[in-house]
Amino acid sequence: MRNSKGQNAALRTRLLTCGATAAIATACAFAVPVMAQDTAAAPAPAEDTTTIVVTGIRRGIQDAISAKKKSSQIVEAVSAEDIGKLPDASIAESIARLPGIAAQRTNGRAQSLSIRGLGPDYTVTTLNGREQVSTGDNRSVEFDQYPSELISQVLIYKTPNAGMTTQGIAGTADLQTVRPLAYGKRAAAINVRGELNSEDAAIGGMKNSGNRYSLMYIDQFANKTIGLALGYAHTDSPYQVQKKEPWGDGGYPTCSACLPEDQDLLILGGAKDGIISSNLKRDGYMGVLEWKPNDQLHMTLDAYHSDFRELQKIARIEYPLAWGDNHLAAGYTAGNTFVTHGVFNDVTAIVENYTNDRKAALDAVGLNTQYQLNDNWDLMADLSYSKVERDDIILESTAGTGFNKSGAKDTVTFDTPDEYGLSTLSGVVDYSNFDTIFLTDPGGWGGPVGRAGYVKAPHIEDELTSIKLAATRHMNNVFSSISFGYTGTHRQKDKKGVEGFITLPTGTQAVVPEKYRMGVTDATFLGGSSGMISYDSLAMWNDGYFGFVQDVSQDSVKRTWNVDERIDVAFIKADLDTELFGFPLTGNIGVQSQHAKQTAKSYFTDGTATGTKLKSESADYTDILPSANFNFALADDMTLRLGAGVTIARPRMDDMAAGVGYGAISDGNQPVQFGGNSYYWSGSGGNPTLKPWKATAVDISWEKYFGRKGYVSIAGFHKTLNSYIFNQTVLRDYTGAALPANADPALYTQATANRIGTVSVMQNGSGGWIKGLEATVSVPGDIVTPYLDGFGLIVSAAFNDSEINPSGTNPIDLPGLSKKVINTTIYYEKYGFSARLSNRYRGDFLGEVPDYTNSLQSRYVAAESLLDAQLGYEFQGGGLKGLSLSFSATNITNEPFKLYTKGNKNNVMRHEVYGSTYLFGVNYKFF
């Protein structure tokens, strides 16, 4: 059954991939004849006073094409089908359908994006043109914070523009809310949707159904000189995860316990398989107020607020196997790569009930004023402020048959397929009995007496203020206008990383109190276990049942940091409007000067109270960033775009933290050798002097439009990464640092006298290059033949490659780069009926994925192909006009999310399945 599903998925991927490639090739082959057809003289149309209003899928497509066509840069766009109706359940999923863009799933949801093979760290996300703070630990925006119902359009700028003072190496994603005066009429919409996940919620107290509803109102007053838009969106969304995860990033050591002839085979070192039941709740509020009393003055005030909570409950059983204090029984089965079947005796299992509770509040407000001073001069001022506060409780609670491996031992049978190391386990101990499974430290992991787990409670505050001032001089020569101005931003991000051990009031072990029991969690996903005890560890923490002992180790202390940035940008940009070689030429040229001053604070620590002190370091630097965009109108509706520029992406904030964990070192009572010299100190930590990633990019794009209905494009790009951030070992002065208490006494004298040592930190160095080719076809059926009226096809394919050798070191993989990304959408819309079938294929890539504590780690992600569908009907007249019904399904084939070991895709690091999500909605638009 599993093999059949895998074969079907692989076949589907091949068919969609081949179909996409064939569609692009066919469209490109027929592009010239169609263009000739467009430019040929056509008979005068018959007089028709009927106004045709396009709505639904086709309206969203046409608005997006119009935005792409009018832009002075290479840009991709997605637009709402109507007010409150972006085509997908999340913004990230909508953006991920655009050419050259791919999404990474987190717990089943598209959450972060890669643009042109570059991961989230290289992209800037803005709201109405203003940079946004992030609920994450760094700069990359988590799109879960922005309801799709409140966004009218998303623009992805792939080339720089000197007038855009916030832009990344990969590109800039600008989320836009509706502008009521531009909308031009009164409108209101109500959208209600029910949500269901195909997988049952296995953990007590959780659910697999949810709901979403939104309200949107747009109006104009005072003879349309005042515009108002108000929106509210509520989301209550469940998701389920079944996870298989070997120990130790692949978890397959060689089999030292096997017979001599089998000792090179891989065997399961341990497993921490589990299930996750989660719920995301979000309330988003949007408001826009416009005032345009005359042709000279236009003011826009917009605000956004969201309250966000994600509750995640995790149940899993950890089995230490080849790496544990147990024994492989005789009679195992040897395959070609793995020990494919065997039994481990004397296994001490750990029953875990974990809870991740994340709460975040986000506020963003901006005021834009545009004033036409006279026929020649325009002035603009933009003020903005955004802030986020986030609090997490990441609670790890452990249970087992007894303290420090003293309880009953299990006999565990494992099966590992030789072609794909996804193991199935089954034990004989009953883990569902509250009388025999105790709260305790079953593995003897140490720490305080009575330790029963670990808790992290980080608090994040991210605050950003910005002012932009600009003036534009209109001209009537080669340049249509020249703009110049200044932008100043101040950003502070603060993380307080409190964490430590949780302890029990009754000593080394305790029975779960009756009032916190949540029944038995189904654990049959393991292969044979019937269940495991389930209890509300978060309620126990909130009620003060657990004690707390703070962790003062180096890794814990360094998680508290603060970064303060001030960025001053001066820019000048000239807009082109002329001819070159007989072709109309538009576009822009310009340059920015960005001056940054950054200060980072963190702890310099040896892991003891006496050896810990706050450290503050600063840096300032200037980057000169030229840019140019040239757009040649080759023929009617045919454009050749050329872009070039230098762009930057600011370093990760956790890499900038000033803190270092250190120690006095020795290697067999000898100093460690580095660069041919001896050193007695070493450490690792952050680097406040980090400068941005920097790239020089060249882009080209050929685009043929069929009015607003469709287009064909081919684009290519090459980016040289001039400055690349990577981990290096360098020298550091440890003068003033306390000598660690655990230092080798034989080296005290040398370590005291020789304070120069090594430190492992992120540093700037040279990088390499990334290049790619993109092709897109968006064609409605009626331009091919009248028989296909109502049908349409959108296909895009991106092929990327890179070579990254940081400062001449060995080649590394670029995070976020998939060599192949193909998006395919087939749609139908006519007589009120609409249907859409979409597939997103993404090749293997190096991603940043959260571990069970939500900390990001770099892991190789296997290729995936996601199939989504949407059906709808809108009443065209009568008393139900304005009412529409919709049904959508995402991840229809339940595509797994797979992590693997570099160089060996059969060596599984993690395998997750999420189920399919179904949404049934009712939308009513009136006025």
Check residue 669 and give its pLDDT. Answer: 60
Residue 30: strand, helix, or coil = helix
Please determine, for residue 66, whether its predicted confidence score (pLDDT) is greater than 60. yes
| Range name among 327-341, 446-460, 737-751 with the lowest pLDDT average | 737-751
pLDDT digits (tens, 9 = 90+) for 222-238: 999 999 999 999 999 99
Task: Please report, rounded to a whole number, the percentage of residues in the chain having pLDDT higher than 70.
Answer: 91
Average pLDDT, the chain: 88
User: What distance in Å separates the CA atoms of residue 112 and residue 510, rounded to the nearest whole number?
Assistant: 41
pLDDT number for residue 854: 59
Q: Are 67 and 75 in contact (CB under 8 A)?
A: yes
pLDDT given for residue 47 in this prediction: 37
Structure tokens given for 337: 């790569």
Confidence at 54, pLDDT banded by 50, 70, 90: low
Q: Is 834 exposed, middle or buried (0-12, 13-18, 19+ CB in 10 A)?
A: buried
Q: Is the pLDDT of residue 128 over 90?
A: yes
End-to-end CA distance of the chain: 53
Question: Among 292, 226, 71, which residue's Cα sits nearest to residue 163?
Answer: 71
38 pLDDT more than 50: no
User: What does each C-alpha distance from 299 to 185, 302, 371 come to in angstroms?
Assistant: 19, 10, 9
Span of 60-74, 132-146, 689-703, 711-725 with lowest mean pLDDT:
132-146
Q: Which of 83-97, 134-148, 748-762, 817-831 has the highest mean pLDDT?
A: 817-831
Q: What pLDDT was estimated at residue 11? A: 38
Does residue 53 carry a pLDDT above 70?
Answer: no
> Residue 22 pLDDT > 70, yes or no?
no
Beta bridge partners of 126: 131, 174
pLDDT at 92: 85
Q: How high is the pLDDT of residue 8?
A: 42
Cβ-based neighbours of 896, under 8 Å, separated by 6 or more: 864, 911, 912, 913
Q: Which of 656-665, 715-724, 734-743, 783-792 has the lowest mean pLDDT?
A: 734-743
Higher pLDDT, 93 or 321: 321
pLDDT at 424 over 70: yes
SS (H, E, C) 82-107: ECCECCCCCHHHHHCCCCCEEEEEEC
Rounded percentage of the chain residues whose pLDDT exceeds 90? 67
Query: How far apart, in whole angstroms, are the C-alpha atoms of residue 433 and residue 438?
Result: 9
CB under 8 Å to 446, separation ≥6 — which residues?
Answer: none
H helix runs in 477-553, sequence order: 537-542
Length in residues, the chain: 927
- Contact assessment for residue 269 and residue 249, using Cβ atoms and an 8 Å cutoff: no
Give residue 87's pLDDT. 64
Q: What is the DSSP string of 653-712?
A: HHHH---EEEEE--SSSSPEEETTEEESEEEEE--TTPPPEEEEEEEEEEEEEETTTEEE
Residues 727, 765: contact at Cβ < 8 Å?
no
- Within 10 angstroms of residue 29's Cβ, the number of other Cβ atoms is 9
Using DSSP's 3-state secondary structure scheme, residue 525 falls into helix
16 pLDDT more than 50: no
Q: Which of 387, 243, 211, 238 shows the shortest CA–CA distance to 306? A: 387
Which residue would you say has higher pLDDT here, 106 or 549? 549
What is the spatial distance between Cα 247 and Cα 52, in angstroms, rounded to a whole number? 61
What per-residue confidence (pLDDT) applies to 5? 40
Q: What is the pLDDT of residues 464-510, one digit of tens each?
A: 999 999 999 999 999 999 999 999 999 999 999 899 999 999 888 99
Q: How do residues 785-841 score in pLDDT, each as one tens digit?
A: 999 999 999 999 999 999 999 887 888 899 899 999 999 999 999 999 999 999 999
Outline where 543-670 has alpha helix (H).
Answer: 554-557, 653-656
Point out the least confidently predicted range of 2-11, 26-35, 122-131, 207-216.
26-35
Distance CA 48, CA 71 (A): 31
Q: What is the pLDDT of residue 612?
A: 87
Which 8-state DSSP code applies to residue 118? B
pLDDT computed for residue 372 by the predictor: 96
Report whether pLDDT(918) > 50: yes
pLDDT (0 to 100) of residue 344: 96
Please check whether residue 186 is in contact with residue 229, taking contact to mean a CB–CB distance below 8 angstroms.
no
Residue 6 in this model has a pLDDT that exceeds 70 = no
Of 909 and 591, the one with more pLDDT: 591
Task: Work out the number of other CB atoms within 10 angstroms of the CB of residue 738.
Answer: 15
**Alpha-carbon distance values, 237 to 388, 521, 895 (Å):** 22, 21, 19
Mean pLDDT in residue range 527-535: 80
Task: Please say if the pLDDT value at position 43 is more than 50.
Answer: no
Q: Give the model confidence (pLDDT) of 863-884 as tens digits.
A: 999 999 999 999 988 989 999 9
More confident call, 282 vs 5:
282
Task: Say whether pLDDT at 88 is over 90.
Answer: no
Residue 745 pLDDT more than 90?
A: no
pLDDT band with cut points at 50, 70 and 90 for residue 422: confident
Evaluate whether 347 touches 324 at the Cβ level (below 8 Å): yes
Q: How far apart are CA 139 and CA 137, in angstroms?
A: 7
In sequence order, the β-bridge partners of residue 589 are 574, 628
583-611 tens-digit pLDDT: 999 999 999 999 999 999 999 888 887 78
Q: How far apart are CA 169 and CA 174, in angstroms?
A: 15
pLDDT higher than threshold 80 for residue 28 = no
**Residue of 733, 688, 469, 452 lying closest to 561 (CA atoms):** 688
Residue 12 has pLDDT above 50, yes or no: no
DSSP category for residue 127? E
Tell me: pLDDT of 134 over 60. Answer: yes
pLDDT in tens, 208-218: 999 999 999 99
What tens digit of pLDDT does each residue of 680-710 get? 888 899 999 999 999 999 999 999 999 989 9
Specify the pLDDT at position 326. 83
Please report the pLDDT score of residue 400 as a whole number.
95
What is the model's pLDDT at position 555?
84
pLDDT class of 14 with cuts at 50, 70, 90: very low
Q: Contact at 8 Å (CB) between 358 and 142?
A: no
Q: Give the pLDDT confidence score for residue 41 in this predicted structure.
A: 33
Measured from the Cβ of residue 406, the count of other Cβ atoms closer than 10 Å reads 14
Q: For residues 763 and 753, what is the distance between their CA atoms, to the nearest angstrom?
A: 27
Q: Which amino acid is at 430?
A: D
